[in-house]
Every structure is written in C-alpha cells, then in structure tokens.
C-alpha cells in the first residue's frame, strides 16, 4: 500500500497489521513531507511513483481496489490494462461499497458494448459489495495462477 498512516489506506494497514498480516508500505520520497508514515510496518521509500507501482505490483498477489481518488483510479486502470495485455493473471477486485465504482464499471461496460474492448475483458475483474466478499474473493484467488507471463 502507499505507506501513509491516515485515511482509508492507513486504517486498512493498521487493521491488517493488528491482525498479524504482512503490510508493506511503498512511498515515493517526495510524498514523505505530505503524508504521515505508518512506521509500525515495513516501509520502503523509493525515488518515483513508477518504482513504487512496480514494487507494489511485484509484491502483490491480488489487487483490491477500495473507494479512492484519482490515484486509486489510475492504479486500477493500469493493472486492468496489464491484465488486458496478458501481463498478469492476478485478481483485480473492486470493493464497490455503496456503489462507489458503479460509474467506472458502467464506462468499462460501455467500451465493451461499443466494440472498443472485447467482451472477454469482463472477466478481468470481480466486483464485491462488502469487505467480507472481497476477503473471500482474495482467498478464492489463492488457487488461481498469479502470473501467466511477465515480460517486464
């Protein structure tokens, strides 16, 4: 996760850490002055957003996209694009609390209906409406292959 100690991601990191989970924060150096680090977990400070996303991708078994802002949206679209390009087979799970991602999901569906994206792209993500459903989706994904090929 991004390494910050506040907001939804900070709360998620604290809860995962308290439950005994491994939490890895990855933060680009320029954000250290803007974000409060959650320093009870391992945190890597890297030079750039690109390096951050590479490490987060490499260290992840699945991607759970919680409600968030433009940065969350950008990262979700990137992992979906990589999946569309067959660069990975890791699960992409939208945590659609209170319909937060409905508009994005409708836009992706529109692209499919307009023929810009093949219908098979619908299989690139899972939508969960509760945290419990998202946790179960991650657990179920443990039995799936995580990488088909990664040519980076």
Q: What is the pLDDT along the chain (152 residues), one digit of tens a residue?
A: 888 888 888 888 999 899 998 899 999 988 887 877 788 889 899 999 999 999 988 988 899 999 999 989 999 999 999 999 998 899 999 999 999 999 999 999 999 999 999 999 999 999 999 999 999 999 998 665 544 444 43
Looking at the structure, do residues 91 and 71 belong to the same domain, yes or no?
yes
In this structure, what DSSP letter does residue 33 have?
T
Q: For the chain, what is the domain count?
A: 2
Residue finishing a domain among 37, 59, 81: 59
pLDDT of residue 143: 61
pLDDT of residue 63: 94
Q: Taking the model in full, what pTM does it have? A: 0.85
Place of tokens 């999946």: 83
In this structure, what DSSP letter does residue 89 have?
-
Helical segments of the chain, H only: 7-18, 49-59, 70-84, 102-113, 131-141
CA distance 138 to 64: 8
* Domain boundaries, position 29: 1-59
Looking at the structure, do residues 26 and 84 belong to the same domain, yes or no?
no
């Amino acid at each position: 996760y991004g390494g910050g100690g506040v907001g939804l991601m900070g709360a998620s990191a604290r809860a995962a850490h308290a439950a005994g989970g491994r939490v890895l924060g990855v933060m680009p150096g320029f954000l250290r002055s803007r974000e409060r680090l959650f320093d009870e977990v391992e945190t890597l400070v890297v030079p750039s957003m690109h390096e951050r996303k590479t490490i987060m991708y490499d260290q992840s078994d699945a991607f759970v996209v919680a409600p968030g802002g433009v940065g969350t949206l950008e990262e979700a679209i990137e992992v979906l694009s990589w999946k569309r390009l067959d660069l990975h087979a890791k699960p992409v799970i939208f945590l659609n609390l209170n319909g937060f991602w409905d508009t994005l999901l409708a836009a992706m569906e529109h692209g499919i209906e307009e023929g810009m994206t093949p219908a098979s792209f619908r299989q690139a993500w899972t939508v969960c409406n509760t945290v419990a459903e998202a946790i179960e989706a991650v657990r179920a994904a443990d039995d799936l292959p995580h990488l088909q090929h990664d040519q980076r």
